[in-house]
Amino acid sequence: MKKKEFAGHADARRPKGNPLAWINLLLLAIIVIACNYIGCSEYARTDLSEHESYSISDRTINVLNSDRIRKREKPIHIIFAFQRTATGYARMYSLLEEYVRHGRGKIVVECFDPLRDPNRARQISQIYGVEFSQNLCVVDAREDHTKPLKAFEENRSERKHVRIRPGASFMKYEVMPDESKRIVALMMDEVLCSAITEAVEGDMRRMCVVEGKGGVSRDDQTLLETLGDITGSLNIQLSWVNLSSIEMLPQNVEGLIIISPQTDFTEDEMRVVREFWEREGRNSIYVALDPTNTKLPMLYRFLREQGIRPNADRVLLRDRKRAYYDISAVMPKGLNCTKPFWNNTTQVDGQSMSLTLEHGDENMAAIRKLSTYPLLLSTAEYYGETSLDLDAAFNPQEDREGPLCLQAAVTRGSNNDPNNLCTLIVSGNIDMLARENARKEQTDYLRSIWAWMVHRPEYAGKSASQDLTVKIDLNRHTRSAVEHITLIIMPVLTLLIAMAIWNARRH
258 & 382 share domain: yes
CB atoms within 10 A of CB 352: 30
Peptide bond into 403 cis (omega under 30): yes
Identify whether 49 is part of a domain: no
**Residue 169 pLDDT more than 80?**
yes
User: Tell me, what's the pLDDT at 304?
Assistant: 93
Residue type at 349? D
Return the percentage of the chain with pLDDT > 90, whole number.
34
156 & 248 share domain: no
How far lies 319's CA from each of 170, 316, 387, 392, in Å?
Answer: 45, 10, 16, 10
**Residue 14 pLDDT more than 60?**
no
Task: Give the C-alpha separation, 500 to 264, whole Å.
Answer: 68
DSSP helix/strand/coil, 413 = coil
Phi, psi of 270 (to 5 degrees): -70, -30
Return the percentage of the chain with pLDDT > 70, whole number.
89
143 & 258 share domain: no
Average pLDDT, the chain: 85
Q: What is the pLDDT of residues 72-97, one digit of tens each?
A: 999 999 999 999 888 888 889 999 99
Domain range for 87: 58-171
**Residues 57 and 458: beta-carbon distance below 8 Å:** no
Q: What is the pLDDT of residues 445-470, one digit of tens each?
A: 999 999 999 888 888 888 876 665 55
246 & 320 share domain: yes
Task: Give the C-alpha separation, 290 to 382, whole Å.
Answer: 19
234 & 281 share domain: yes
Q: What is the pLDDT of residues 404-422, one digit of tens each?
A: 999 999 999 887 888 888 9
Q: What is the pLDDT of residues 304-349, one digit of tens each?
A: 999 999 998 888 888 766 666 788 899 999 888 888 899 999 989 8
Quick check: pTM over 0.95?
A: no
Q: What is the pLDDT of residues 33-44, one digit of tens each?
A: 888 877 776 666
What CATH number is associated with residue 131? 3.40.30.10
**Residue 11 pLDDT more than 90?**
no
Which of 6-15, 41-50, 360-369 ranks highest by mean pLDDT? 360-369
165 & 213 share domain: no
Bridge partners (DSSP) of residue 356 are 309
**Residue 396 pLDDT more than 90?**
no
5 vs 422 pLDDT, higher one: 422
DSSP helix/strand/coil, 111 = strand
Identify whether 2 is part of a domain: no
**Residue 118 pLDDT more than 50?**
yes
What CATH number is associated with residue 246? 3.40.50
**Residues 286 and 257: beta-carbon distance below 8 Å:** yes
446 & 344 share domain: yes
**Residues 456 and 443: beta-carbon distance below 8 Å:** no
Q: Which of 126, 152, 171 is the last residue of a domain?
A: 171
**How many separate domains does the chain show?**
2
Identify whether 469 is part of a domain: no
- Strand 284-288 with 76-81, pairing: unpaired
User: Tell me, what's the pLDDT at 59?
Assistant: 87
CB-based burial, 26-65: b 16+ in 10 Å, e otherwise: eeeeeeeeeeeeeeeeeeeeeeeeeeebbbbbebbbbbbe
